[in-house]
Amino acid sequence: MDIGDNLANEIFSGSFDFDKICLKVFSFQYEHNPIYKKYVDALKIDVSNVSKPSDIPFLPIRFFKTHDVVTTVFEPETIYESSGTTDTINSRHYVKSKNIYEKSFLTAFEHFYGNPAEWCVLGLLPSYLERQHSSLVYMVEELVQRSRHEKSGFYLYDFEQLNETLRALEQAGQKTLLIGVTFALLDFAAQHQLSLQHTMVMETGGMKGRRKEMIRQEVHDVLKRLLRSRKCIRSTE
């Protein structure tokens, strides 16, 4: 087991000091990620003076479009790509272990929302399902499987079926997660105004060139008003 595995185990244990673990991760990335080290050095940052999380420099996302950003030397188990639009270059995320990625999002989900088996999980992710190498689709697929609910699953553009499913779940009082790309959720909400009292709406991914961009709070206000949902959150995926 290498130092990276030890660090991951420490993070997943949940029994750590957040500031200290952030500094450990920073030191590990600086030492073992050549692109990040060059970036930090170019900023003329003395790493010995980085003493709290707010001191840590963050690598701009554009580097993931122009460089192979990897920590340590390894053969990636999989490569995920950002969704982007038709006229953009997608960023690439080289994943050493799918197990760590899976453990990360499942641990976070259970921490904030509980056991996936308590939920019905619905994915409205057309722009992601229509392409390959999406980490978001992989995450939702895993949550769908772990929910074990007969109505859990994905939807492309079948808004009528999604509407019927949500109404049935609401009537049954079933705790439901509707996770969707922003433009698709707005399109659906404009056509089907519901009252989602047992459904949490999670938006992710922006407009993908399909709609005018909106600030997050504006998106949430529209979705809450049209769907009468008590809770709308933004996924960091």
Task: Tell me the β-bridge partners of 180.
Answer: 124, 203
Q: What percent of the chain has pLDDT above 70?
A: 88
Higher pLDDT, 9 or 98: 98
Give Cβ neighbours of residue 181 (< 8 Å, ≥ 6 apart): 83, 124, 125, 126, 127, 128, 203, 204, 205, 206, 208
Q: For the chain, which domains are there?
A: 3-58 (no CATH), 104-234 (3.40.50)
With 50 as the cut, is the pLDDT of residue 1 above it? Answer: no
Higher pLDDT, 77 or 235: 77
Higher pLDDT, 29 or 231: 29
- Looking at residues 11-34, what average pLDDT do you find? 90
Q: What would the pLDDT profile of 130-164 be if each residue is shown by its tens digit?
A: 667 888 889 999 999 999 999 999 988 889 999 99
- Looking at residues 78-93, what average pLDDT do you find? 77
CA distances from 148 to 10, 166, 201, 205 (A): 30, 17, 19, 26
pTM of the model: 0.83
With 90 as the cut, is the pLDDT of residue 89 above it? Answer: no
How many C-alpha atoms does 77 have within 13 Å on its Cβ side? 9
With 60 as the cut, is the pLDDT of residue 209 above it? Answer: no
Higher pLDDT, 156 or 48: 48
Q: For all residues of the chain together, what is the average pLDDT?
A: 87
Higher pLDDT, 208 or 64: 64
C-alpha closest to that of 137 among 105, 107, 96: 105
